[in-house]
Chains A and B, each alone.
Chain A
Amino acid sequence: GAGVSQTPSNKVTEKGKYVELRCDPISGHTALYWYRQSLGQGPEFLIYFQGTGAADDSGLPNDRFFAVRPEGSVSTLKIQRTERGDSAVYLCASSLKIKETQYFGPGTRLLVL
């Protein structure tokens, strides 16, 4: 079956701009997670959803970052007033239920100039 998909695969933007990153989880998976991976580092947790609600957003670095999952399937990570330090690979993962194994998408590589 289809895995987790993320679009776009690459995004280049200018400092101060707004960006949206999309994640389409594996069909039937109720839990969805966002991580950020900087060069040479392991992924770091941002936020996760159980259904439509954000169950834990403690990893979001500041209020410029926001994520939604309005219908309990596709999720969008939104970054306002982007900064050069936001440049990273943004990874999405989904699991059948909370506590189950997380399967990752290919990521979106964000570059803020």
Chain B
Amino acid sequence: AQKVTQAQTEISVVEKEDVTLDCVYETRDTTYYLFWYKQPPSGELVFLIRRNSFDEQNEISGRYSWNFQKSTSSFNFTITASQVVDSAVYFCALSGVGAGSYQLTFGKGTKLSVIP
């Protein structure tokens, strides 16, 4: 069975602060994908990133960066110099690559509030 844990239910930061959202996962698969999605107040899930389990390189995209550590089964997401527009619920998710495991297993999400 697959499981994703996002221990932080809610986080509040002041604009321009850096913030890290934690994600820990469990899977018996040796190959899998990890994802982050953003859900703004409008409700639509917006894809942010997908990582293959074989690729442990950290990734940076503008103010966003992701730290994948297989040894600790973690895939953390950092926003640098946060902005009010970053306020949303962020979901970490996991999927397999074999038949019957293509669906996404989501964590419960972390609600980020960026205060001006």
* Chain A interface residues (CB < 8 Å from chain B): 31, 33, 35, 40-45, 48, 55-56, 58-59, 89, 91, 93, 98-99, 101-107
18 chain-A/chain-B pairs, Cβ below 8 angstroms: A33-B103, A42-B91, A42-B107, A44-B106, A45-B103, A45-B105, A48-B103, A55-B102, A58-B100, A99-B33, A99-B95, A99-B97, A101-B35, A103-B47, A104-B37, A105-B44, A106-B42, A106-B43
- A35, A42, A55: the one within 8 Å of B108 (CB): A42
Q: How far is the CA of A91 from the CA of B39 in the complex (A)?
A: 12
Q: How far is the CA of A98 from the CA of B97 in the complex (A)?
A: 9
| Residues of the B chain whose Cβ atoms lie less than 8 Å from the Cβ of A106 | 42-44
Q: Please name 18 further chain A to chain B contacts, defined as beta carbons within 8 Å, in addition to the given A48-B103, A104-B46, A104-B47, sorted by A numbering.
A: A41-B109, A42-B93, A42-B107, A42-B109, A48-B102, A55-B99, A56-B100, A56-B103, A58-B100, A93-B45, A99-B102, A101-B50, A102-B47, A103-B47, A105-B44, A106-B42, A106-B43, A106-B44
Most chain A C-beta atoms within 10 Å of own C-beta, residue among B4, B37, B45: B45
Among B35, B93, B102, B107, contact of A98 (Cβ-Cβ < 8 Å): B102
Give the size range of B's interface with the partner: 20 to 34
A48 to B95, CA, bound (A): 13
* B11 CB within 8 Å of chain A: no
The 8 Å CB contact of A31, one of B4, B45, B102, is B102
Q: Mark B18-56, 1 if CB is under 8 A from A, else 0.
A: 000000000000000101010000111111001000000
Q: B18: shortest Cβ distance to chain A, in Å?
A: 24
B79-109 interface code vs A (CB 8 A; 1 in, 0 out): 0000000000001010101011011111111
Output the least CB separation between B39 and chain A (Å).
9
- A78 CA to B37 CA in the complex, in Å? 27
Closest to B111 in A: A40
